[in-house]
């Protein structure tokens, strides 16, 4: 391998860290460079000697030049009879070793491991080590060759030069995956908000829209991800508020009229004071919160039961009041007397330690208002 090929291989290592779909490409190129008949990166649990050779969640768990059924058989059985395992399980992170140092070749040919798993694939020699290791878990790499191709000292030394880059690539991928999981959690939380939320960059283009904002009558985004109201004047005014928030840090609010309701939406623009550096990509600079006064809060009754010890009947009444029903309307809808509702309301007030219905609504709104179920997404208009 010349220096140009070596540099190209290192480049592929880091490409795979940020573009997971390139791990198979890298492993194939690594196999080609080292004349490997099969290369596998897998997760090993030493506590129960259980390997994971296939994963949709960890992109660097991959294999090249291997038969899928053979990989399955290793996971299900042959990892338990792998005679190389015992002497390699204690290898420290970043250290690799050839299998001729792990188990005598004259004894290997007598084993079930060789005759039933290695030999059918024309495997005999291997280079094995741990890219990452923590407690009883390790990210393990194995590279196989035939009986006629043992690893030379020069090849072992060359591979040792690649190992630190491989380890860093796996660590980069791991950190990026952690960030993505946090982002997915944040997105789920924002989609549970009972108000519309749109995040704009400094140019006024939306970079995030929660489910509630996608369903609102009176607000939408055009094909360029810029906000639209029901008329041109309100569209210009809203875009001006967003621009002021991005450039001057000024927050403000306005009403957005609708075609299907006499009650307008309440739009609140908040500056996030972000100043992205060049090449950092689009980041939120402005948050737009949109409240629909016609939309009732959809609260799970069981939360009130668990928090305040309300009975199911009392929880249904409290939820109905939170959604805007009056006590008399609730009594009529449930087919019960007003006196019964008054008795239930007294019990609810006592258990929640509130004294008036307005105080109860304030308690429920501040305590549970953010737990409304997200609305269904709507099509963004042109």
Instruction: Check whether 377 has a pLDDT greater than 60.
Output: no
Q: What residue segments make up the domains of the chain, in order of their start?
A: 3-180, 192-291, 301-371
Q: How confident is the model over 103-139, as pLDDT tens digits?
A: 999 999 999 999 999 999 999 999 999 999 988 899 9
DSSP 8-state class, residue 120: G
180 vs 87: CA distance, rounded Å = 37
Among 216, 186, 210, 215, CA closest to 197: 210
99 vs 85: CA distance, rounded Å = 10
Q: What is the CATH number of domain 301-371?
A: 1.10.10.10
Residue 366 is predicted with a pLDDT of 79
- Helices vs strands, H then E, count in the chain: 14, 13
Identical fold for domains 3-180 and 192-291, yes or no, is yes
38 vs 26: CA distance, rounded Å = 13
Residue 181 is predicted with a pLDDT of 83
149 vs 171: CA distance, rounded Å = 31
Instruction: Check whether 376 has a pLDDT greater than 70.
Output: no
DSSP string across 35-97: T-SEEEEEEEETTTTEEE---SS-TT-EEES--HHHHHHHHHTGGGG-TTHHHHTTPPTT-EE
| Contact between 93 and 133 (Cβ < 8 Å) | yes
Confidence of residue 4 (pLDDT cuts 50, 70, 90): confident
How is domain 192-291 classified at the CATH fold level?
Beta-Lactamase (3.30.450)
DSSP 8-state class, residue 26: H
Residue 165 is predicted with a pLDDT of 94
Task: Tell me the mean pLDDT in the region 330-345.
Answer: 93
Rounded to two decimals, the pTM is 0.64
161: which 2 tokens? Answer: 């030069």
Residue 375 is predicted with a pLDDT of 37
Residue 325 is predicted with a pLDDT of 86
| Contact between 256 and 229 (Cβ < 8 Å) | yes
Range with the poorest average pLDDT among 42-46, 169-173, 209-213, 292-296: 292-296
Q: Which CATH superfamily is domain 3-180 in?
A: GAF domain (3.30.450.40)
Among 181, 198, 183, 216, CA closest to 294: 216
Task: Tell me the mean pLDDT in the region 65-83.
Answer: 94
| Contact between 113 and 79 (Cβ < 8 Å) | no
CA pseudo-torsion sign 53, 56, 61, 62: positive
Q: Containing H/E element for 354?
A: none
298: which 2 tokens? Answer: 């959809």
Q: Under 8 Å CB-to-CB from 320, ≥6 apart: which residues?
A: 330, 333
| Contact between 159 and 50 (Cβ < 8 Å) | no
> Where in the chain does DSSP place strands (E)?
38-45, 50-52, 62-64, 96-98, 125-134, 137-145, 196-200, 206-209, 220-221, 227-228, 252-256, 265-271, 286-291
Residue 374 is predicted with a pLDDT of 39
| Contact between 243 and 258 (Cβ < 8 Å) | no
């Amino acid at each position: 391998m010349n220096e140009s090929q070596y540099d190209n291989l290192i480049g592929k290592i880091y490409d795979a860290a940020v573009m997971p779909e390139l791990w198979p490409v890298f492993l194939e190129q690594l196999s080609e460079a080292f004349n490997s008949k099969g290369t596998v990166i897998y997760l090993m649990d030493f506590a129960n000697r259980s390997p994971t050779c296939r994963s949709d969640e960890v992109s660097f768990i991959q294999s090249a030049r291997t038969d899928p059924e053979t990989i399955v058989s290793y996971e299900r059985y042959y990892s338990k009879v792998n005679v190389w395992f015992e002497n390699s399980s204690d290898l420290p992170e970043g250290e690799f070793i050839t299998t001729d140092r792990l188990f005598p070749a004259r004894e290997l040919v007598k084993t079930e491991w060789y005759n039933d798993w290695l030999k059918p694939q024309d495997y005999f020699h291997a280079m094995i080590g741990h890219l990452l290791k923590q407690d009883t878990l390790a990210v393990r790499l194995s590279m196989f060759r035939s009986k006629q191709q043992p690893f030379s000292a020069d090849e072992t030394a060359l591979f040792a030069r690649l190992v630190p880059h491989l380890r860093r690539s796996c660590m980069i991928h791991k950190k990026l995956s952690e960030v993505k999981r946090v982002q997915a959690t944040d997105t789920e939380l924002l989609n549970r908000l009972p108000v519309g939320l749109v995040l704009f960059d400094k140019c006024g283009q939306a970079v995030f829209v929660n489910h509630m904002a996608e369903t609102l009558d009176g607000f939408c985004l055009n094909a360029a991800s810029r906000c639209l109201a029901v008329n041109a004047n309100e569209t210009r005014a809203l875009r001006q508020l967003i621009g002021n928030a991005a450039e001057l840090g000024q927050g403000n609010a306005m009403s957005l009229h609708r075609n299907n309701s006499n009650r307008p939406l309440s739009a609140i623009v908040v500056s996030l004071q972000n100043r992205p550096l060049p090449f950092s990509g689009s980041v939120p600079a402005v948050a737009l919160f949109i409240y629909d006064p016609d939309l009732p809060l959809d609260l799970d009754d069981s939360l009130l039961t668990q928090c305040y010890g309300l009975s199911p009947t009392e929880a249904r009444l409290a939820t109905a009041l939170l959604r805007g029903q009056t006590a008399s309307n609730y009594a009529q809808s449930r087919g019960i007397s007003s006196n019964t509702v008054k008795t239930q309301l007294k019990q609810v007030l006592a258990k929640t330690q509130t004294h008036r219905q307005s105080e109860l609504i304030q308690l429920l709104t501040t305590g549970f208002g953010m737990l409304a179920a997200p609305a269904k997404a709507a099509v963004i208009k042109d």
